[in-house]
Structure 1
Amino acid sequence: CHMTIEPSTFLAVPTLEELNLSYNNIMTVPALPKSLISLSLSHTNILMLDSASLAGLHALRFLFMDGNCYYKNPCRQALEVAPGALLGLGNLTHLSLKYNNLTVVPRNLPSSLEYLLLSYNRIVKLAPEDLANLTALRVLDVGGNCRRCDHAPNPCMECPRHFPQLHPNTFSHLSRLEGLVLKDSSLSWLNASWFRGLGNLRVLDLSENFLYKCITKTKAFQGLTQLRKLNLSFNYQKRVSFAHLSLAPSFGSLVALKELDMHGIFFRSLDETTLRPLARLPMLQTLRLQMNFINQAQLGIFRAFPGLRYVDLSDNRISGASELTATMGEADGGEKVWLQPGDLAPAPVDTPSSEDFKPNCSTLNFTLDLSRNNLVTVQPEMFAQLSHLQCLRLSHNCISQAVNGSQFLPLTGLQVLDLSHNKLDLYHEHSFTELPRLEALDLSYNSQPFGMQGVGHNFSFVAHLRTLRHLSLAHNNIHSQVSQQLCSTSLRALDFSGNALGHMWAEGDLYLHFFQGLSGLIWLDLSQNRLHTLLPQTLRNLPKSLQVLRLRDNYLAFFKWWSLHFLPKLEVLDLAGNQLKALTNGSLPAGTRLRRLDVSCNSISFVAPGFFSKAKELRELNLSTNALKTVDHSWFGPLASALQILDVSANPLHCACGAAFMDFLLEVQAAVPGLPSRVKCGSPGQLQGLSIFAQDLRLCLDEALSWDCFALSLLAVALGLGVPMLHHLCGWDLWYCFHLCLAWLPWRGRQSGRGEDALPYDAFVVFDKTQSAVADWVYNELRGQLEECRGRWALRLCLEERDWLPGKTLFENLWASVYGSRKTLFVLAHTDRVSGLLRASFLLAQQRLLEDRKDVVVLVILSPDGRRSRYVRLRQRLCRQSVLLWPHQPSGQRSFWAQLGMALTRDNHHFYNRNFCQGPTAE
């Protein structure tokens, strides 16, 4: 679609300071007020800027025009910025023109610019005149203009050969430049002249280039004494992994460097020669070496780095202690290993961790991350000379050994140890006792050993860890054959989520005291433990020191609230994601210190009056995502005014006229998060999904009277329309169904049993046996079609030679056949001469018509000349369906048999022509 903006639309707002017109198909810049400070025209169809486009915007400081011409917003030409088009914007400090297919830097830019972003265009040449007069520039981004396409995550155009071309003095006059981005620019070497005069440069991004050899011998970094952050990631050679890498001595000149990113360069060994120039950098704090295929690493080399706080070696192939062999000397020769395409696959996404549970390693002095490597066993030689290490991450490895207290001997200063997502065997009672200062231990997601049948597990090592304060045993599917009790006087937080505590507590009293030995425990997480019930004796045996208890995502359908007095210090109770239907069973006990209660994501539809009133310390209550239709002041009593947070969002509140909860929520509106937008109605239907303040007072009528009137009017309309229509369309069908149902009744069934339905035959077939053609047609065609081919609707025929009883006279058999059949079927080859049995049968049928007033005659005429009979003509005129002519064409036979079946199963009374007579009726 095309968006049209009237000329005076924005001029009518003379005080407008910020305007965002992004993602609109506008093609020209509309008239704008002079007060504008920030303007965004990104992802539009504006492809031309001249001096008149932004004339008069002297206060403008921020201009964003990104993505107006690129693969997601294709155009036939590049964005064209006329020379001097922006020169009149004397206060402009931020200009962003990314993703616009620009081939040159716009000329005559205002000298006030501090931020210039030109990344991902097609500018392959840069010279001093391109950035002339931009002496105030602080950040320049020209990355992605000559791309390295083998690492591109989106459509990419290969950089032309012998490009990019950067003049040696391109940046020399930008003395205030603090950030320079040259990423994804296909650079294979660095010219020291590029950085001459950049004495204030703080951040330099050289990632995604071809500098894998340049960084081993370059001198370009010698003058960057103020550089704080350097990014060299993904400067690998295509499909090659180097045996060794040695950084150039010029890295030693980066005396102010704090962070160095070298991930994705692909070298297989790490020793003291690799990072030797960095050891003299006193301010270096962060070193990123992940995704380098490193399989041999001397971790002890980091002891020589005085200020190093974080080393990331994750996503490598380290499998154990480095082997100190003579190959280090020949590795400098650049031994190469060709990589397979699968080796460059992205690392797996991390699963949710316990970062909110264990202490943050960023506050510690030294952290080493070895997660997602190939470690199978942990050897103390790996950590030699790392006694100052305080945080060690070994998650997502394949460690499957039984830890016995000797694996981490050199790490005497370790405080945080992450061993999640491994296969550790916890059996020895002295596990981890070699870590005298250990405060946090993460053993989550080590479920494989706990799933082995018949293998016991020993948690007695917890009692020997005197300084341990945080322990995670989460998501291990612990359910049986473990220590009957955890004991520790120092432990303050325990994450036991994702196990099978419901199964353990179902084993009688065996694990009833499992947590009772944790005398100083404050924080306990029992989420996702398949708990269906939580008995009072269970809470009685939890540590009395508990302040936080999490029971999220279990199957609790009720809770004994009075049992909270067993936990006198409890302040936070989390019951979200359970199956609570109502908050009854008493109320929160008096004297409880509960400050926060979370019962969100349940099915609560009712809360007992005064339920929260006795909890004098309650300040935060989460009732969101339940089935509440109201929020009543009586639930809280005098506590309502003391609430700091009351979350009732995602409940189907009934927004009836004069609803009492509306006044209550307005009284405590300061405590209700998102009251105008997140608290919505669930009923009535016209307000469903809308804010509780969207109610129209004109809808406030007497609902009971409205429903009564609606029901009466609906019934009247339905009867007025339905009865005549049903009578007109299906009156006969309803009459038929009515009588059919009556026939099914027992008393009607007995009456009908004495009637016509009890006759033994459906039709008595009469024909001249002396005519062989007629007899053959009756026995082979007629009998087969009516008795064999109709399935469950087959008719019972009476034939002389088959069904007449021997020993009886001819007249007795004839009488029984005519009166014992519903119809008498005459099969005639001609009608001019009828005698013998045919004549006698016809006379008996006529006598039955006189006696019972039932016409039972059906004629089938096989010869065309049979139509000459006057009787046949008369009968055709009065009752056409009882006279059937055998068709000469095979295509008409199927219709003939259908008509014959209907004639034999229905009373002839229905076939009479009402224009001539009504037909015989029974008295």
Structure 2
Amino acid sequence: MGPRRTLHPLSLLVQAVALAAAVAQGRLPAFLPCELQPHGLVNCNWLFLKSVPHFSAAAPRANVTSLSLLSNRIHHLHDSDFVHLSSLRTLNLKWNCPPVGLSPMHFPCRMTIEPNTFLAVPTLEELNLSYNGITTVPPLPDSLVSLSLSRTNILVLDPTHLTGLHALRYLYMDGNCYYKNPCRRALEVAPGALLGLGNLTHLSLKYNNLTEVPRSLPPSLESLLLSYNHIVTLTPKDLANLTALRVLDVGGNCRRCDHAHNPCRECPKGFPKLHSDTFSHLSRLEGLVLKDSSLYSLDTKWFRGLARLQVLDLSENFLYNCITKTTAFQGLARLRSLNLSFNYHKKVSFAHLHLAPSFRSLLSLKELDMHGIFFRSLSETTLQPLVHLPVLQTLRLQMNFINQAQLSIFGAFPGLLYVDLSDNRISGAARPAATTGEADGRGRVWLLSRSLVPRPLDTLGSEDFRPNCKAFSFTLDLSRNNLVTIQSEMFARLSRLECLRLSHNSIAQAVNGSQFVPLTNLRVLDLSHNKLDLYHGRSFTELPRLEALDLSYNSQPFTMQGVGHNLSFVAQLPALRYLSLAHNDIHSRVSQQLCSASLCALDFSGNDLSRMWAEGDLYLRFFQGLRSLVWLDLSQNHLHTLLPRALDNLPKSLQLLRLRNNNLAFFNWSSLALLPKLETLDLARNQLKALSNGSLPSGTRLRRLDLSGNSIGFVTPGFFALAKGLEELNLSANALKTVEPSWFGSVAGTLKILDVSANPLHCACGATFVGFLLEVEAAVPGLPSRVKCGSPGQLQGRSIFAQDLRLCLDETLSWNCFGLSLLAMVLGLAVPMLHHLCGWDLWYCFHLCLAWLPRRGRWRGADALLYDAFVVFDKAQSAVADWVYNELRVQLEERRGRRALRLCLEERDWLPGKTLFENLWASVYSSRKTLFVLAHTDRVSGLLRASFLLAQQRLLEDRKDVVVLVILRPDAHRSRYVRLRQRLCRQSVLLWPHQPSGQGSFWAQLGTALTRDNRHFYNRNFCRGPTTAG
């Protein structure tokens, strides 16, 4: 639980304004934080809500017909919580405030319901308040049809609690007083408490410690469930007026504790006591449950008058002897389902079992469940009374420790559809059975009690593509037995069999085409989880109609080094459409190519195709011979890359390609064009980090693309845009921080499913993905609740709509505003305090600095000059003037790009109206350097001399040497000043080279001389150059 926050009025006002602006900008999901689902259902499950959400008036609240608030933390229901839902018919409040015994942490909890909470909803028809700590029935509207008060703390029911509920048809009050929800007493149902419910048809009072059937129940009841109480005596008056009853469950009231899976109280000796006429007046009864009632025999009179009985559950009793002798079934001509499971003798397994002759009278029986009776031999005499039952379809005999089974006996049952012999100990064909023998204990085997507990059925790994055996006319399940070999004699007289399950055995046989000869009509064969040796090329060829073959999890032979495996039999099965070779660790020494003209689906997951394709071209065309293949699963094949040539050698007929759980870090998307009919591509749970290498090709028929469970953090704009047929895209459980509309283009409008849940989205202010997801809201499953933020920290794990990201303040701006306001506050406090404490000292320091500022300002002003150089030359010399205008100016101002220099030229930059000396003085002092262009140095006069003197004056005043000399005729006679300057500051005296090869170096040196201070050019052996005053 997060820290509690107090909402102040100002905060509420700000949120209200933000919400109004949000509505003005665009529509948020109507029922935040819940999700609107089809048919008017609003799903608020598992949102940890502490109160009922009050939806916005802009939401279509009148269309809400069902509201589910399952598994939240709502402890208080107010009168106004549901007033705005005018059409509400179904309300689920289950698991909000569970009783202490049912709470995961055993915390006490009491739910408070105000009087008008449900009365304010006059349309309410179905209300679920189960698993909540309520002690009384709240006031309820008279429109209620179904009410669930199970697993609550309501221990008393009297007529005032349910007054006026004339429309109520279903009432559930299970588990209000039992070992998980203890109360140290029994549920009290006052006589006549339910009599006023004239339309009540279904009443469930299971697990309530009841010791008798409640009195004066409404005669309209059609279903009464009283199981797992402590009702050990039943008489005719207990059910006297319930003549409309169709289903009665009184099982578990006097339990058989040696088979219990939860706390159990032993049935008292001599009980239960069922009067012979207890059910005789229930002429409409169709279902009767007497399971787990410690019955040792069946009274024939119990079923007298039950001509309509269709379902009878007698499981978990002690009827092991009664099954062989009883006559109780003779009058049950309409019985369709009979459950006799776990009617075993304690710690005993019988050698034989023979059913009583009265089973022959069950002419309408469709399903017989006899698992857990514990007999070791199944022969023709075992089921003899059942042979001529015309409509018997299902026979369950699992978990009986059968080790000898004569399977051919099932060929005599004309309408049998399903026989379950799984979880036995059948190891092969049975010897001919003896004609005599009773379940009298001869040949008994004492068992350990732990053998009595049934194991859960395993889920077959290939069920997602293999046909369902329920669609076929006859199925035999021999899974989880002790079969080591298969002989054709086992299946004699079973030519009608269409589906055979032999999974989870220990068959280590080399099948050669002779094992299933009698099964000429077999269409589905499940041999998964065995140790089959696929060496012969004619394996299974005796099954001409075989459509589905499951050979998954037969890895032991494939892991034996040096042993070859022949898969050529696939080409000889003309009707084969589904084949599973999954999880066999196939990696070498197998047929180089699978061939079949009929195969449509192949499961090759859990092998090592990476090693196979690493062997050059040996297995490159392994799948190419499957000309009709539509469905191919290559998951868990250790693939690190999938080259275009590998895809090019897959069947062109492929429509679905599954590559889940590999190690793919790269996928060549353009190679999808090599599979022109591909509609579904599954790349989930790989190692893709970005979708940046190209895009989905145009013209692809791809409709479904699963990229979930990767590490994708970047998607190239337009990646999905060319896949015009894309309808379903799964990007969940990746590393995406945003979802951009530019990824999809026009495809975004045609997507039916876009799953972006479980991504660490960055919920920054103004995040663009919020608006985009709102545009495609109908395609995003769980948008309000499952699409969550990954950053920043305060929003991590919360819905992207926890705050409106289109209106929230930017975090950087918030910090800047905070800093400025803090600074203003500090200054507002510090300035008056400092003025009061040390005002005179501050005044003195201020004036001291003020006196220092002009000098500092002059130095700073020297750096902010108008020109980089003032060019001085003799205009009378036309050659010099031409060089300055056409060479010097062009090179320094036009050809240096961003490093161009600003030159001051007399004829261009001097201001008219000023005297010559004013312009000359301004040019020298407004330029960084003074550049003298000379043809010779022995005779200098006029403007050149005046400029030189001003430059020397500047040296004396500012201590800056600004003189740079360019001599155009290096062979001319040089004055003593020039020679001295060359000695002291060589880089400020430049000679113009007449060879073109040296001119580039000259311009570079001149640029350096004009941009750097001359102090850096002085020869340190003679002087340090001019220095600034300290």
| TM-score of the aligned structures, taking structure 1 as reference length | 0.75
State how far apart, in whole Å, the 1-side matches of 2:796 and 2:504 are.
46
Structure 1 position 329 matched with structure 2 position 463: no
| Correspondence for 1:562 | 670
1:346 paired residue among 435, 449, 454: 454
- The one of 74, 96, 100 equivalent to 2:182 is 74
Matched, 1:458 2:458: no
Alpha-carbon deviations, 1:242-301, whole Å to 9, x = none?
111111111111111111110000111111111111111111111000000111111111
Task: Quote how far apart the aligned CAs of 1:609 are.
Answer: 1.2
**What is the match of residue 385 of structure 2?**
277
Aligned 1:587-598 pairs, distance under 5 A: 587-598=695-706
Corresponding residue for residue 133 of structure 1:
241
Aligned 1:636-655 pairs, distance under 5 A = 636-655=744-763
Deviation at 1:211, TM superposition (A): 0.8
For the Cα contact (< 8 Å) 2:680–2:705, is it kept in 1? yes
Which position in structure 1 is the counterpart of 2:720?
A: 612
The superposition leaves residues 336-387 of structure 1 with CA deviations (integer Å, 9 ceiling, x where unpaired) of 2222334324336525521112111100000000000000000111001111
Alignment of 1:344-743 (within 5 A): 344-347=452-455, 350=458, 352-696=460-804, 700-708=808-816
CA distance in 2 between counterparts of 1:373 and 1:17 reads: 50
- 1:22·1:42 contact (CA, 8 Å) conserved in 2? yes
Alignment partner, residue 375 of structure 2:
267
- Structure-2 change in CA distance of 1:480 and 1:87 (3 Å): same
SS of the residue 1:150 aligns to: helix
Letter in 2 for 1:633: P
- Return closer, same or farther for 1:376/1:716 CA change in 2, 3 Å cut-off: farther
Question: Cα–Cα, structure 1 residues 82 and 332, in superposed 2: closer, same or farther, change >3 Å?
Answer: closer
Query: C-alpha separation between the residues in 2 aligned to 1:710 and 1:373?
Result: 75
Query: Which AA in structure 2 matches 1:206?
Result: L
Q: Which residue of 1 aligns with 2:343?
A: 235
> Which position in structure 1 is the counterpart of 2:172?
64
Asked if structure 2 preserves the Cα contact closer than 8 Å seen for 1:474 and 1:496, the reply is yes
Identity, % of aligned positions: 78
Q: Which residue of 1 aligns with 2:31?
A: none
Alpha-carbon spacing, 1:202–1:103, altered in 2? closer, same or farther (3 Å): same
Instruction: Please say if residues 472 and 495 of structure 1, whose CA atoms lie closer than 8 Å, have aligned partners that are also in contact.
Output: yes
3-state DSSP of counterpart to 1:471: strand
SS at 1:329's partner residue? coil
Residue 891 of structure 2: aligned partner: none
Compared CA separation, residues 501 and 96, structure 1 to 2 (3 A) = same
2:250 — aligned with what?
Answer: 142
Corresponding residue for residue 232 of structure 2: 124
Give how far 1:463 is off.
Answer: 1.4
Give the match's secondary structure for 1:677. helix
Among residues 397, 418, 423, which one is paired with 1:315 in the alignment? Answer: 423
Matched, 1:296 2:404: yes
Alignment partners' CA distance in 1, 2:465 and 2:619: 24
Shift of 1:713: 9.2
Name stretches of at least 5 consecutive residues in structure 2 with no aligned partner. Answer: 1-108, 827-1030
8 Å CA contact 1:655, 1:695 repeated in 2: no
Distance apart, 1:683 and its partner CA? 2.5
Per-residue deviation at 1:707?
4.4
Cα gap change, 1:320/1:129 in structure 2, threshold over 3 Å: closer, same or farther? Answer: same
In 2, Cα distance between equivalents of 1:647 and 1:9: 37
Which amino acid in structure 1 is aligned with residue 255 of structure 2? R
The residue that corresponds to 1:730 in the other structure is: none
Matching of residues 139-288 of structure 1 within 5 Å = 139-288=247-396
1:149-207 C-alpha deviation (Å, 9 max, x unpaired): 00000111111111111111111111111111100001111111111111111111110
Per the alignment, in what secondary structure is the counterpart of residue 395 of structure 2?
Answer: strand
Contact 2:404 2:426 in 1 (8 A): yes
Taking the TM superposition and a 5 Å limit, the aligned residue runs for 1:841-880 are none
1:55 CA drift (Å): 2.2
Instruction: Give a deviation string over 1:20-68, Cα, whole Å, max 9, x none.
Output: 2222333222333333222222222222222222222222222111111
Rounded to whole Å, the distance in 1 between the matches of 2:299 and 2:557 is 56
Q: Give the Cα–Cα distance (whole angstroms) in 2 for the partners of residues 453 and 717 of structure 1.
A: 82
CA distance in 1, matches of 2:806, 2:410: 75
Aligned partners of 1:244 and 1:334 also within 8 Å: no
TM-score by length of 2: 0.68
Distance 2:623 2:120 in 1: 69
Return the letter of the residue paired with 2:463.
Answer: E
Question: What is the rounded CA distance, in whole Å, between the counterparts of 1:32 and 1:253 in structure 2?
Answer: 50
How far did residue 667 of structure 1 move? 2.2
- Which whole-Å CA distance do the structure 2 matches of 1:154 and 1:637 have between them? 58
Once the two structures are TM-superposed, the CA of residue 314 in structure 1 deviates from its matched residue by 0.2
Secondary structure (helix, strand or coil) at the match of 1:663 reads helix
Letter aligned with residue 685 of structure 2: G
Q: Secondary structure at the match of 1:280?
A: coil
C-alpha distance in 2 between matches for 1:362 and 1:283 = 16
Looking at structure 2, the residues matched to 57 and 541 of structure 1 have their Cα atoms a distance apart, in angstroms, of: 70
Taking the TM superposition and a 5 Å limit, the aligned residue runs for 1:749-788 are none
Q: What is the CA–CA distance in structure 2 between the aligned matches of 1:548 and 1:305, rounded to whole Å?
A: 41
Aligned equivalents of 2:335, 2:716: Cα separation in 1: 64
Q: Counterpart of 1:46 in structure 2: which amino acid?
A: I
| Cα 1:355/1:312, change in 2 over 3 Å | same
Deviates more, 1:327-336 or 1:641-650: 327-336
Q: Does the 8 Å CA contact 2:377/2:405 hold for their aligned counterparts?
A: yes
* In structure 2, C-alpha distance between the alignment counterparts of 1:617 and 1:259, rounded to whole Å: 47
1:49 aligns with 2:157: yes
Letter in 1 for 2:186: A
Q: Residue type matched to 1:51 in 2?
A: P
How far apart, in 1, do the equivalents of 2:486 and 2:712 lie?
50
Is the 2:770–2:805 Cα contact (8 Å) retained in structure 1? no
Aligned partner of residue 258 in structure 2, secondary structure: helix
Gaps of 5+ in 1: 719-923
Q: Which has the higher contact order (CA 8 A, sep 6+)?
A: 2
Residue 714 of structure 1: how far off its partner (Å): 10
CA distance in structure 2 between the aligned counterparts of 1:23 and 1:68, rounded to whole angstroms: 9
Q: CA contact under 8 A between 2:321 and 2:439: conserved in structure 1? A: no
